[in-house]
Each structure stands twice: as structure tokens, then as C-alpha cells.
Structure 1
Amino acid sequence: MKEDNGVSRRSLLKSGIAALATATAATGYAAGSAQAADRQTDRGSSDRSSSNPGPRNSALQEQNTDSFQPPSTDHGDTPAFKYSFSLSHNRTYKGGWARQVTVRDFPISKDLAGVNMRLTAGGIRELHWHVPAEWAYMIYGAARITAVDSQGRSFVQDVGAGDLWYFPSGVPHSIQGLSPDGAEFLLVFDDGAFSEFDTFQISDWMAHTPRSVLAKNFGVSEAALRPIPERELYIFQAPVPGALESDQRAAGREQVPTPYFFSLRAQEPARKTRSGEVRIADSKNFAASISVAAALVRVKPGGLRELHWHPNADEWQYYVSGQARMTVFAASGRARTMDFAPGDVGYVLRSTGHYIENTSDSDLVFIETFKSPYYQDISLSQWIAHTPPELIAQHLHIDMQTLAAIPREKAVVVPL
């Protein structure tokens, strides 16, 4: 069977692999070659086992090479642990847009749900509240956030790229894009079934309450309330707000005792090696964030987020930049590898072993979030290094010299 140009699919596949090998050699980057070798192990002698002469989505297949041609170490039936915001329905408004990934789209993601939102300069995510707590990471630009707690204490703060915020369950709040180009951010909720489009909006509530009741509640005339919108606004365009200090003064009263804001970008890395670094934000240093812990991980080309697991919670990931592959070990001989790109979401079940490898020639940056007040992980290397060596040797059949070379301290990102 041939393509329209007369070139067979098999020839295209072979030429593509050859081109990839040539490019890898030219750049001196070995990771791609290692992955190709992994995939070669189980191929048939004629290479027909890796061909795909039938219908296919070439673009999607090229982005997920480790699904089509998995490493020989993959085995068994492991549920998909990848989804992409690029597949999510995008709700667009004058003032911004929003799209989400919940358990309805991504069945494995039971503990956490995510929203990717963009606001123009002046664009407002209207005053609202919801049952789950909201954790946020600023991807781009600048925004102003506001909140009021159950005792009437206010919070008004400007946030920029690399900053976090956290709004506890039920606390009403708003977000507004600032000059010059608004903001884009990631929201994570501590309930995988939560929908961002089912929140309690101030405009929606007012529109569905009799004007006479509103007038009695606020002590004003019904006529004064006629301009209230007849339906929810959700996201809408407004003028860019004035100075932060002016809004803070206007909010008045006492401020919340525990700030809902945290500058992750200003923190020193918790771990740093020549291959990358990790910054951690949990209730130890971001006191307000009592239900979500997080890590911002940077892995340089050729680096690896070391083999590890998290004993206290499932892991919800968001890929910010770069390319990666992750292998998840699910016990009983089950392992699966999937590829990740910017805007993708990954999910790893509690205590499931995994690693994340940078497969590109630029830095890999991703976020790990957990439904837990604290960040915890267990390093495979550290476990081995702090277990009696004779016991390890009896299990793995490796010599003492090799055992002595294994790092004794948690590296997070390797090589050291």
C-alpha cells in the first residue's frame, strides 16, 4: 500500500528513523538514541512489527512515540496517565478564556482537577466561591487577586509569573488581569470531580434572587438594583485597575492573618544539582496551603527526575516547557511509558514508582501537586544506600563497588 506520492509507509518510517538518528548524532544528545535502542529490543527481524500500514493520526503518533513503540521494559495493562489541555473544550469570553481537566475527561485523576485560564489586561474572573480549595500557579503576566474570609478580613495582592495563591474552601475571591498583557495561570482544585463551570458566581446569585429581597437585604431601593445582570458574567472585560495600595485601602478592615499568596520564584531551591533543581511549597513554608502541596521541577537536557514515589498522596502534574517521557511502575510486572509536552497533564497514583526524563535539548519544567498539606517523596537511590548492602546485593545481584557508587542522599534530579 502506498502514499499518494508513491512512497510506501514502510519507507517513510525507515527514512524518518534514519533522519532522527542522524540529527541525534549531530547534536551529541544521547537520550534519543537510548530510547530508540529500548524500542528496538523486541522488534521482528524484518522490522515489520514496528510498521503501521493502516489508518493513523501521524501528528498524534509522532508526539507519543513511547506509546506506539514502547520500551522493552514496558509490560502489562496500566491505565493511561496522560491528558492534554489541548484536548479540552475552551470557553471563550470578552476578557479571557478557560478550559479544564477533571475526572470526567481523565478518569485516573480522582483527587485533583485542573483549570488553565487566560485573562486580558482588565479581564475579570468574576467574584465567586466554591467548595474545593483553589491552588494556583502563575504561568505568565500579572494579575490582581482579592478575597474576604468568614470574619470579614480582606486580602488584595498582585501576582506575577512564578507566584502562587491558595484560597481555602468557601472563601469568596476574584482574579483580574493587569497591564500590559493580562495573565495566564493554572488552577488546581482538591477534588477531581469539581467543575470550574459550576461555581457560585455573585452575578448568578443576584440574578436569581427577587429584587425585593435584595433591596431588603442591602437596605437600598429596588430601583437602585435594576442594572444587576440577568445572568452570570463568569469572565468579562473591564478597565485595568488602579494602584494596588488604593485597592488595599478600599478593602478596609483587618487583613487575613495568613496571606493567600506565596512567591515560589523567590525561594531558594530545596535541592539543586548540575542537572536541575526543585522548589517546594507546602504548609511548612506556605502556611495557607493546608490541602495542596507542590513542587516546581527543572530538569536540564539529559537529566532525570530520579526514580521515586510519593507515600502520602496521588501526584497531579502540569508540564510548563520542554519535552519528557515518564515511566510508571504499577507493581505485578506492570509498567508503562508515556510522552509529555507543554500543556499536558500527568497523574501518578499514590506510592507508584516513576521517573521523568528530559527528552529534549532545552530545559524541562513541570509542576507536581498533591492533595496533602506536606510534600513527601522516597528516593529509590536513598533507600538502597541506607539499607544493609549485603541485603541489597542478595536482592539485586550487584557487587559492593556498584552499591558504594549509588548516591546516599536524595538528589531529586540526576546526574549529580
Structure 2
Amino acid sequence: MHKSILLSLGLLLVATANPVPNENIQRLSKIPASSSQEYFFGGDQTGTSRPFTPGHQDPYDRKVDPVGDDLEPLPYRNGDGATVMGPRNRDRERQNPDLVRPPSTDHGTLSNMRWSFADSHTRIEEGGWTRQTTIRELPTSKELAGVNMRLDTGVIRELHWHKEAEWAFMLSGNARVTGLDTEGGSFIDDVEAGDLWYWPPGHPHSIQGLGPNGTEFLLIFDDGNFSEDSTFLLSDWMAHTPKSVLSENFRIPPEIFNSIPKSEKYIFQGSKPGSISAEKPKGFKKSTKSFTHKMLAQEPEITSSGGEVRITDSKRNFPISKSVAAAHLKINPGAIREMHWHPHADEWSYFIRGRARVTVFAAEGNARTFDYMAGDVGIVPKNMGHFVENLSDDEPLEMLEIFRADEFLDFSLFQWLGETPQRLVAEHVFKDDKKAAKMLLEQIEGGEKDPIKEKFEY
């Protein structure tokens, strides 16, 4: 029976003359769901210990890393499930194994909380590009919106301002930022990978790529409905102002303005800038405020057993950043960002390196697990419990936790239980199991916060 199925499939493929991307996958997609292990590992019964096979048993819902371990996710869990017979997007399945085979603890319906910048529309300009993740791409991105932008060397993001505040994290390269404060003070600074800048709403500014390769950065705006196309641009304003008015305003003849751009420039190739001191205009008045900050140059605020945490907000070290607070996390291989929640703002996560598993607990028995990798955005609404687990036991995970708030705040489940009367905790969790209760209480004694916990061997 099985051999005849495979033979028929082979004849069908030959007859249609279509390319076969993966023979093993094609074979698996057509066999009966009740087939024995021989169709997964050639009859080798040791295959029962591997994930995504009919005989695999894991009542504890351990993490699985299909990308790192070169596995093909299939919807099998603890003896239930079946193969996939229809069309498949295998790359997506490998990136999102907990959608293909969710943990048994997932339940109910939650809105999508994952988006990849790879799925965002890219606007290509002279010497650069930009793409955005807003409430239009990710409906749960209500409080913040993100823009990923690239400027080659000398390329300018033209003089502009926004209705929203702009916070930025330098991903790579070097850039020069310029701006003006409300007191007429000017600001110019050169930034590099790991640095931040922040412009309050309405503050005019510009960005230019420096060095041999220019720059790439992440922009965050404090409104999920933000659109990069709604920026107030210098060239756009001048193009839509009568030349007679431009003449009156700048005190030069109107015909001088015949050569101004007919529409917005947005991103364009500029000349190589000189040093900051050489470029300061006559009568330069230095701002008393600092609009940039070296986040990754900070000493870690918290060195945990499983990684490092750097926090930047207006209360601690970046006073100008009144509406955006952030933490940079390095999560060691196999480590976990502990179970926690944020009481005052949604978390807008950006994954810089590695792969992660996140389960969001939404109360009312609802929980859903999402998987993330570099370039992905994650949302966790305020007060919803969650963790971030490094899927890889070999590679570190690097991410940003970003909030529409003036201060970074979170609550640790571990710390909360450690600071609660032990009798109360034991009766909640292990009322009828004294041995288990004793083990838990010994671990949480003292309630010391450890935001990133090292890998636990059990």
C-alpha cells in the first residue's frame, strides 16, 4: 500500500514535469496520517525522540529550534496531529514552529503580535530606502510605530519634522544628526551603532550617512498610526508656497526660487560633510539639551545570571526622551527573560539577533505563543504576562524592549512570589503537595530579581 502510494506520486511528478524542491517533503505530504515511523526515519524507531514526529512525546512543551537544528515542523504533538497534505510555505513554518505545533498550554484566540520588516513595503530612494511597521501592518501596534531606514554614505534624510516624537536606535554604521530646540539652540552630533537620538514632536532635524558605508537605524514614533509619508519636509513646503511669499520671507527676488525642487526630496545623495566644527553656521548657538545618547556604551544596569540589561529613559539617563523608554537585552544561549509584565505601556519589541519564543498570557484562559528572529517586531499589550526564551543553545539573542512611556517599568513573577508570605504562595500553587511547595519556596526565598535567567538543566 505504502509503496504504491509513493510510486503513484513519482509517476505524477514525472507526468507534470514540475520541479520538486524537496523530495522528502513531497513524500511526507502524501502519506496517510496513520503511517508508521518508517516514513519519518526509515523505520528507525529512535525517531520517536525527535520533535514533529507522530511518536514524539513532550508533556513539558520544551522549546524547539527548527532553524538551528534543521528540522521540518509538522503539526504533531504527543501522539495527536497529522501530516500536511496541502500547499506549504516551509520557510515560514521553520521560522514559526509554535504556530505549526503550538505548546499544549496555548488556548483561546489572541490577535497577531508578530510582524517582520521583511514583509513591509520598501520605499527605494536615491542612495537609501525605508520601510515601516505601523498599526496598518500590525493592528496590535497601537502605541508605537517603527521605521527601518538605510542611508548610504553622504545620503541625506532631508530637513523635516513630525507631529510625533522620534526615537532612534543606530543599528549599523555612522550618521550625523542636526536639529533645533524650541529656544533657538542648535544641536549637531555624530552617532554610531548602539547610539540613540530623540526629537520631541515638532522639532526640526535631519540625518546624513557618514563613513564608508553610511548607516542603518530603527526609528520609533509614539503613535501606532504614524506614517512616514506624513512627514513635514522642507522641500515639499517650499514647493507648495508661492514664490512671492518665499521672496518676502527670505528677502531675495522671487525668480531666484525658480530652481528649487518641484516636489519633496525625502532621501537624496548629498556631498560629504566636513567636521562638526567646520560645518557650524555663523552665529551657532549650542543647545543646552542633549538629543543623543550612547546606549550600548552604558554599563549594564543589571547583569543577570543569563545576560545583560541596559535601560535608557528620561528618569535615569536620557532626560529629553519624555515619551519613549527602552531596554537593550542580551540573552545568552539557552537563557530566558523571566516571566514578567509591564504595568504602564505596551511592549514594542525589536529583535536584532538570534531567535526567540514568547508566550503571551492574556487572562481569561487565553495564551498564545509566537516565534521571532532578527528583523521581527513583537507586541505585548500592557499588563499581559510573558517571557522571552532564547531558542538557540549556541547563539545569543539581542533585542530591544520599547515603550511609550517616560520610564521603564516591569513586574517580576519570581520577585513578587518571593516577597509574598510563603504560606500564601504555597497554598496557591502546591496546596496538596508539600514536597513541591518546599522546593518552590526554597528557590524564591529572598525574591531577588534576575531578569535574564541562565539555562536550567533538568
1:202-221 pair list within 5 angstroms: 202-221=234-253
Contact 1:98 1:116 in 2 (8 A): yes
Aligned residue among 359, 363, 378 for 2:411: 378
Q: Confirm or deny that 1:66 pairs with 2:66.
A: no
The code of the aligned residue for 2:104 comes to: S
Structure 1 stretch displaced more, 251-260 or 115-124: 251-260
Q: Distance in 1 between matches of 2:361 and 2:339?
A: 10
- Alpha-carbon distance change, 10 to 325 in structure 1, aligned in 2, over 3 angstroms: farther
Q: Confirm or deny that 1:265 pairs with 2:296.
A: yes
Contact 1:297 1:367 in 2 (8 A): yes
Q: Distance in 1 between matches of 2:49 and 2:144?
A: 39
The code of the aligned residue for 1:281 comes to: T
In the other structure, the counterpart of 1:35 is: 63
Superimposed CA distance per residue, residues 74-105 of structure 1 (whole angstroms, 9 cap, x where no aligned partner): 11111110001000000011120000011011
- Alpha-carbon distance change, 20 to 198 in structure 1, aligned in 2, over 3 angstroms: farther
Q: Distance in 2 between matches of 1:164 and 1:15?
A: 50
The code of the aligned residue for 1:269 comes to: P
Superimposed CA distance per residue, residues 264-301 of structure 1 (whole angstroms, 9 cap, x where no aligned partner): 01101111123111100000210010000000001011
How far residue 256 of structure 1 moved from its aligned partner, in angstroms, is 2.0
TM, length-normalised to structure 1: 0.92
Q: Confirm or deny that 1:53 pairs with 2:85.
A: yes
List gaps (5 residues or longer) in structure 1: 24-29
- Alpha-carbon distance change, 13 to 138 in structure 1, aligned in 2, over 3 angstroms: farther
- Alpha-carbon distance change, 15 to 326 in structure 1, aligned in 2, over 3 angstroms: farther
Q: Distance in 2 between matches of 1:10 and 1:219?
A: 78
List gaps (5 residues or longer) in structure 2: 14-22, 32-37, 52-57, 66-72, 431-435
Q: Secondary structure at the match of 2:281?
A: helix
Q: How many residues align?
A: 405
- Alpha-carbon distance change, 91 to 42 in structure 1, aligned in 2, over 3 angstroms: closer
Contact 1:50 1:69 in 2 (8 A): no
In the other structure, the counterpart of 1:395 is: 428
How far residue 33 of structure 1 moved from its aligned partner, in angstroms, is 8.8
The code of the aligned residue for 2:207 comes to: I
Q: Distance in 2 between matches of 1:114 and 1:205?
A: 24
Q: Confirm or deny that 1:296 pairs with 2:328.
A: yes
How far residue 253 of structure 1 moved from its aligned partner, in angstroms, is 3.2
How far residue 68 of structure 1 moved from its aligned partner, in angstroms, is 0.9
1:9-408 pair list within 5 angstroms: 9=29, 14=40, 34-35=62-63, 43=77, 45=79, 49-247=81-279, 249-250=280-281, 252-284=283-315, 285-360=317-392, 361-397=394-430, 398-406=436-444, 408=447
In the other structure, the counterpart of 1:414 is: 453
The code of the aligned residue for 1:35 comes to: K
Superimposed CA distance per residue, residues 230-286 of structure 1 (whole angstroms, 9 cap, x where no aligned partner): 000000011221112222x32643222220000001101111123111100000210
Q: Distance in 2 between matches of 1:123 and 1:20?
A: 56
- Alpha-carbon distance change, 50 to 158 in structure 1, aligned in 2, over 3 angstroms: farther
Q: Secondary structure at the match of 1:214?
A: helix
TM, length-normalised to structure 2: 0.83
Which is greater in Rg?
Answer: 2
Question: What CA RMSD, in Å, does the superposition of the two structures yield over aligned residues?
Answer: 2.7
Q: Distance in 1 between matches of 2:268 and 2:93?
A: 38
The code of the aligned residue for 1:182 comes to: G
The code of the aligned residue for 2:325 comes to: A
Q: Secondary structure at the match of 1:399?
A: helix
Q: Distance in 1 between matches of 2:88 and 2:196?
A: 41
The code of the aligned residue for 2:227 comes to: S
Contact 1:66 1:338 in 2 (8 A): yes
Structure 1 stretch displaced more, 274-283 or 111-120: 274-283
Q: Distance in 1 between matches of 2:168 and 2:265?
A: 21
Contact 1:303 1:358 in 2 (8 A): yes
- Alpha-carbon distance change, 174 to 40 in structure 1, aligned in 2, over 3 angstroms: closer
In the other structure, the counterpart of 1:26 is: none
- Alpha-carbon distance change, 409 to 41 in structure 1, aligned in 2, over 3 angstroms: farther
How far residue 109 of structure 1 moved from its aligned partner, in angstroms, is 0.7
- Alpha-carbon distance change, 135 to 19 in structure 1, aligned in 2, over 3 angstroms: farther
How far residue 20 of structure 1 moved from its aligned partner, in angstroms, is 12
Q: Distance in 1 between matches of 2:332 and 2:212?
A: 31
Q: Which runs of 4+ in 1 moved over 6 A?
A: 10-13, 16-23, 39-42
The share of aligned pairs that are identical, in percent, is 47
Contact 1:142 1:179 in 2 (8 A): yes
